[in-house]
Structure 1
Amino acid sequence: MPYRKLFYLLLSAVIPVLSLNAAVKLPSVFSNNMVLQQRTDAAVWGTAAAGKTVTVQTSWDKRTYQAKADVDGNWKIKVHTPSFGGPYTVLISEENIITLNNVLIGDVWLCSGQSNMEMPLAGWGKIMNYQQEIANANYPDIRLLQAIHVTSNIPKTDLEVRNNGWDVCTPKTVAEFSAVAYFFARAVYEKTKIPIGLIHSSWGGTIAEAWTSYETLQTLPDFAAAAQKIKTAPETDKAGYEAQMKKWEQEKYKADKGFENGAAVWAKPGLDISGWKTMRVPGLWEGKGYPDLDGVAWFRKKITVPDSWAGKDLTLSLSTIDDDDIAFFNGVQVGATVGYNQDRRYTVPAKLVNKGDNYIAVRVADNGGGGGMYGNVKEMFLRTADGQQIDLSGDWLFKIAFSFKDIPPAPQNPQNPNRPTVLYNAMIHPVISFAIKGAIWYQGESNAGRAYQYRELFPAMIKDWRSRFQSGDFSFYFVQLANYMKRADEPSESSWAELREAQLMTTKLPNTGMATIIDIGNATDIHPKNKQEVGRRLALIALNKIYGRKNEYSGPLYRSQKISRDKIILIFDHAQGMTASGGSLKGFSIAGSDKKFYRADAEIKGNTVIVSSKNVKSPVAVRYAWADNPEASLINSAGLPASPFRTDSWEGITKGVK
């Protein structure tokens, strides 16, 4: 008889099922297919009737553990886990028995942040080669726990998850999972063969203070009052909020010049388009000359279709849009979607399709952050049922209907994720007792305008988590912001550069590591598609620092400078085999005491770079890759890019911004 069946029968013989009235219950982090952290005392917890004794039995060592539920019915038991392996069975019983099957012992990683961590392989993400990557994602020793978006004004005890628990990594389960987290796990697993559990808890567009506890924010003057307000506020006033939103939506439509008396006049085929601008899509409009636009804008495109298409149903695919859209074909609405992370595929009825010229119009509403029609070029098309298609990427007409600055502010959503503490409370606090190996983090875009503030906030958040998790001073690896937006013609100030600097400064915390991706971003897409390399670079850090591999894990890191007459000599760590990708060393600028930076000449010598400019006779400072979307070509022999940096400490543009 197989061991697990015998184990279950023996337990059943000594612990009869008497009643389910006081049944032992487990939180969502405990389910079939789970991963428990290896070589530790891993907590298992839940609820039962007050005073009742709960028993936990583990098949890997045939041990029995017991604990009594307290007056509130809560219990916690720590089970000793061996080195990685499995599958195993865990039995939890009191007046009922819960059997957890297909349990692995391995390393558990918490994965969090905003949209670039959340970005799935498929869905709105559609990463590079996503179809092939999904098809190849058969990794039964990688397990996935996907948190659902939830907010809370006070700490919650249970995590809301998809599928009621852990999934085995397959093409079906990985498609809507975090691409960065998956590629990180895959790279670690392929080198170590250690089972990996991924707890993915992230939310696009969110701020770091939302992921930080009330107690820690009380120590930070910029956030203390706001956190206090959240803690004491009613959890929700759904009816009141919906009534206010209805009025606000009416204000929006009144302000929208694209509508007249309820009719979408900017969607009409015969519209006078004089005064409309041209914008190339896909791409967010922040990188196309509208960096501060939160509001509504319209896009139009004239399409000439073959005569044979007339009178046939068509599929209109608009890839992804940030945040909401209404799509029109020849002046008639054919679809509408709410949410930046949704696919846009609409059916154009045959009766709307004419011979020759046809007109597509899209009303795009951006509620904050990035806005516009962005995403995969290959997912923008007009297609017939038999596969003939017209590419819709390229130039569209563009016109702003209104900015949110022109109307009263939107009512505060009581479930808005961008409020201090609410994501920590709902999506991190429920798992603080779960033993983990470490965390990976990709966030910062939403805090870039307050980069100086991030210098204090980000390390405070890391220390906050470490102080609360059972695993204590766990490893915390994060991704530095990628290059993004229009490339500046001359050296200038940059809030994104200042945010990258704050991230670099955070590596001074012990057991941290930073993956630099300044070379694989996209000027027109805040969600670059090469998530394979992001995950791999995070894994390089873990493989070196945790798993004993000797691989290089960082690009060149600035250590110090030496001024030599009209030159500055920069000294680097992780400098083995430094060279210029593409053959030309770019991205350096230099300044004298007047603080005016000029593009500089740069030359590599060993572990140093010598920087100079004919415009600066007495230099005092150098900056490298200091821009939203900089030129950056310095790499080492591992092909890893140097982190952006500056040698000066002059006041930045986000100093004092709150």
Structure 2
Amino acid sequence: MIRMFFYSIACLLPAVLHGAIRLPALVGSNMVLQQNDSVSIWGWANPSERITVFTGWDNRSTTVTTSGDAKWTLKVHTPVAGGPYEIRLKGANEIVLKNILIGEVWLCSGQSNMEYGYYNGIRQIAAELPVCHNNNIRFFNIPKTTAASLQDDCSGKWEVCDSNSLKTFSAVGYFFGLKLQQSLGVPVGLINASWGGTPAEVWAPEHLVAGDPILSAAAARLAPSVWWPNKPGYAYNAMIAPLVNFNVKGVIWYQGEANVNTADTYAPLFTGLIKTWRAAWHRELPFYYVQIAPFSYDKEYQAALLREAQARTSALPGTGMVVVADVTENVKDIHPQDKRTVGNRLANWALGENYGKTGFAWKSPVFKEMSISKNKALIRFANVPASLSIKGEAPVALYIAGADHVFYEASAKVDKDVLIVWSKKVEKPEMVRYGFSNTAIGNIFSLEGLPVAPFRTDDLPVAQ
């Protein structure tokens, strides 16, 4: 009996004394680390175990001791973009991470229009497969997962962009990353955490919604589904929280279709989501998002009000809104095929705002103010470098009304950054609307080719 006891203890001793280093899925071979930054390397091992990390780009080592809860973390400084490099981790065991690049890392998140790619019938991705291999673009796909509490790890692995890995990646994310990589000439790492159909509430920390009676009441109105979660925080806990130790440059986001029934609370919800993500990463992450595209929703103004809420969110510093009404082919399809234009416009925001690139426009014209001159409304815009332009013989989706609040189709002409609007049926105009419906596809652009963002000058109540 005693002999068997000591034999059992002897069998356990190697596991007790020589615990293996374990790394989170994000810290692995083929990853891209943010350049010119202090980035975290972290994991788990036996308590009090000494972990040494050797970084191949500077041949330096950093040592840390595992805490009593079996966790360890340390910071290493990354150089300018380059690679490939190796990272060697040594404790009781040794792990070698290979083919690591230093460059720019972005998180891609949202619902189906961010998620969709090759297997969802996006033809532009099918056309890319023969030519897409690029060792300087790396993908990390996070599987659809939920959790009732914050998680510290996720599933997935870093992969080099090729005809196999691209098939399962976000089309918008890929085109965004491709333009960055080609324009900057540096490696780009893309992390995809998206889930079709999900409302924004599931991507926000639970406390943001639970702590606000208005947001909590709106969340209670979300319809349950067998295809996606609707409980606040459930996607955040499992698909975002495990990422916050990993430095990213910024976030691109395409979501909103699932919140058209709660458009009245979307602006504070979305603004709060951005702020809490920034707090989790301890940095003011650039956050660029896509205004939802035209689609024939059940109620007349659902999408218009959601777009209006998205536009209000752009008042938050460090954010930017991409307008995509012009890329819609079919308002009966909630998933527009043209993902290249969307990805390119998101990339232009990053290139212009964060990387100092010039020679192009990246901000759509947005309504600034209205004045009245006799029987005409003069609409002025921000973000018009040269002039506005109307494609076609006359403007579409443009309406004007007087004190009776009856809207009529309007005529218009352009005077540089001013849109002059009138109708023979409105002698004294008081308000103008452009693109303010679920399905409107306007035809007013900047000379640089960016569509004017939908707007209205009134705040009349409309049905949701």
Shorter chain as denominator, the TM-score bin is over 0.9
* Cα distance change on mapping 1:60 and 1:148 into 2, 3 Å: same
Aligned to 1:444: 256
* Aligned partner letter, 1:554: K
Aligned to 2:349: 541
* Aligned partner letter, 2:389: T
Aligned to 1:619: 429
Rounded Cα–Cα distance in structure 1 between residues aligned with 2:177 and 2:98: 22
Aligned to 1:357: none
Residues 480 and 500 in structure 1, CA contact (< 8 A), matched pair in contact too: yes
Rounded Cα–Cα distance in structure 1 between residues aligned with 2:396 and 2:429: 18
| 1:495 equivalenced with 2:302 (yes/no) | yes
Quote the offset at 1:223 in angstroms. 4.0
| 1:99 equivalenced with 2:96 (yes/no) | yes
Residues 18 and 96 in structure 1, CA contact (< 8 A), matched pair in contact too: no
* Aligned partner letter, 2:438: D
Rounded Cα–Cα distance in structure 2 between residues aligned with 1:438 and 1:516: 19
Deviation string for 1:439-463 (max 9, x for gaps)?
0000000001111110110111000
Deviation string for 1:552-585 (max 9, x for gaps)?
0022211111111221100112222311123432
Rounded Cα–Cα distance in structure 2 between residues aligned with 1:569 and 1:225: 40
> Secondary structure, in 3 states, of the residue corresponding to 2:107?
strand
Rounded Cα–Cα distance in structure 2 between residues aligned with 1:66 and 1:26: 16
Deviation string for 1:183-225 (max 9, x for gaps)?
0000111111121100000000000000000222233213448
> Secondary structure, in 3 states, of the residue corresponding to 1:519?
helix
Aligned to 1:152: 147
Q: What are the residue-to-residue correspondences of 1:352-371 with 2, within 5 Å?
A: none
Rounded Cα–Cα distance in structure 1 between residues aligned with 2:241 and 2:451: 35
Q: What are the residue-to-residue correspondences of 1:23-422 with 2, within 5 Å?
A: 23-120=20-117, 122-124=118-120, 126-161=121-156, 165-224=157-216, 416-422=228-234
Quote the offset at 1:68 in angstroms. 1.3
Rounded Cα–Cα distance in structure 2 between residues aligned with 1:82 and 1:590: 56
Residues 518 and 632 in structure 1, CA contact (< 8 A), matched pair in contact too: yes
- Number of residues paired by the alignment? 447
Rounded Cα–Cα distance in structure 2 between residues aligned with 1:416 and 1:494: 25
> Secondary structure, in 3 states, of the residue corresponding to 1:535?
helix
Rounded Cα–Cα distance in structure 2 between residues aligned with 1:182 and 1:562: 43
> Secondary structure, in 3 states, of the residue corresponding to 1:123?
helix
Aligned to 1:453: 265
* Cα distance change on mapping 1:460 and 1:201 into 2, 3 Å: same
Residues 86 and 104 in structure 1, CA contact (< 8 A), matched pair in contact too: yes
Tell me which moved more, 42-51 or 574-583. Answer: 574-583
Aligned to 2:318: 511
Tell me which moved more, 497-506 or 576-585. Answer: 576-585
Tell me which moved more, 127-136 or 568-577. Answer: 127-136
Residues 572 and 608 in structure 1, CA contact (< 8 A), matched pair in contact too: yes
Quote the offset at 1:493 in angstroms. 4.9
Please list every run of 5 or more consecutive structure 2 residues that lacks an aligned counterpart in the other structure.
Answer: 1-13
| 1:591 equivalenced with 2:401 (yes/no) | yes
Residues 195 and 228 in structure 2, CA contact (< 8 A), matched pair in contact too: no
Tell me which moved more, 548-557 or 128-137. Answer: 128-137
Aligned to 1:484: 295
Aligned to 2:382: 573
Match among 628, 635, 642 for residue 452 of structure 2: 642
Aligned to 2:9: none
Percent identical among aligned pairs is 38
Rounded Cα–Cα distance in structure 1 between residues aligned with 2:259 and 2:202: 11
> Secondary structure, in 3 states, of the residue corresponding to 1:172?
coil
Residues 598 and 615 in structure 1, CA contact (< 8 A), matched pair in contact too: yes
Aligned to 1:318: none
Deviation string for 1:17-47 (max 9, x for gaps)?
9998411100000111000011111011100
| 1:630 equivalenced with 2:440 (yes/no) | yes
Please list every run of 5 or more consecutive structure 1 residues that lacks an aligned counterpart in the other structure.
Answer: 1-16, 230-367, 370-409
Rounded Cα–Cα distance in structure 2 between residues aligned with 1:469 and 1:547: 20
Aligned to 1:298: none
> Secondary structure, in 3 states, of the residue corresponding to 1:586?
coil
Aligned to 1:475: 286
Residues 432 and 469 in structure 1, CA contact (< 8 A), matched pair in contact too: yes
Rounded Cα–Cα distance in structure 2 between residues aligned with 1:133 and 1:559: 40
Residues 520 and 530 in structure 1, CA contact (< 8 A), matched pair in contact too: yes
* Aligned partner letter, 2:179: A
Residues 451 and 498 in structure 1, CA contact (< 8 A), matched pair in contact too: yes
| Structure index of larger Rg | 1
Quote the offset at 1:62 in angstroms. 1.1
Residues 586 and 602 in structure 1, CA contact (< 8 A), matched pair in contact too: no
> Secondary structure, in 3 states, of the residue corresponding to 2:119?
coil
Residues 388 and 417 in structure 2, CA contact (< 8 A), matched pair in contact too: yes
* Aligned partner letter, 1:526: I
* Aligned partner letter, 1:74: K
Match among 430, 441, 447 for residue 242 of structure 2: 430
Quote the offset at 1:160 in angstroms. 1.8
Residues 493 and 626 in structure 1, CA contact (< 8 A), matched pair in contact too: no
Deviation string for 1:45-76 (max 9, x for gaps)?
10011111111110111111111111111111
Residues 483 and 520 in structure 1, CA contact (< 8 A), matched pair in contact too: no
Q: Structure 1 length normalisation: TM-score?
A: 0.65
> Secondary structure, in 3 states, of the residue corresponding to 1:451?
helix
* Cα distance change on mapping 1:59 and 1:648 into 2, 3 Å: same
Deviation string for 1:455-481 (max 9, x for gaps)?
1101110001001014x1010000001
* Aligned partner letter, 2:85: Y
Rounded Cα–Cα distance in structure 1 between residues aligned with 2:372 and 2:211: 40
> Secondary structure, in 3 states, of the residue corresponding to 1:149?
coil
Rounded Cα–Cα distance in structure 1 between residues aligned with 2:52 and 2:145: 32
| 1:562 equivalenced with 2:343 (yes/no) | no
Quote the offset at 1:507 in angstroms. 0.7
Residues 19 and 96 in structure 1, CA contact (< 8 A), matched pair in contact too: no
Quote the offset at 1:495 in angstroms. 1.1
* Aligned partner letter, 2:111: Q
Rounded Cα–Cα distance in structure 2 between residues aligned with 1:537 and 1:174: 20
* Cα distance change on mapping 1:53 and 1:510 into 2, 3 Å: same
Rounded Cα–Cα distance in structure 1 between residues aligned with 2:356 and 2:268: 31
Aligned to 2:338: 530
CA RMSD of aligned residues (A): 2.2
Rounded Cα–Cα distance in structure 1 between residues aligned with 2:128 and 2:459: 44
Quote the offset at 1:420 in angstroms. 0.9
* Aligned partner letter, 1:136: V
Q: Structure 2 length normalisation: TM-score?
A: 0.92
* Cα distance change on mapping 1:18 and 1:215 into 2, 3 Å: closer
Residues 18 and 95 in structure 1, CA contact (< 8 A), matched pair in contact too: no
Residues 107 and 195 in structure 1, CA contact (< 8 A), matched pair in contact too: yes
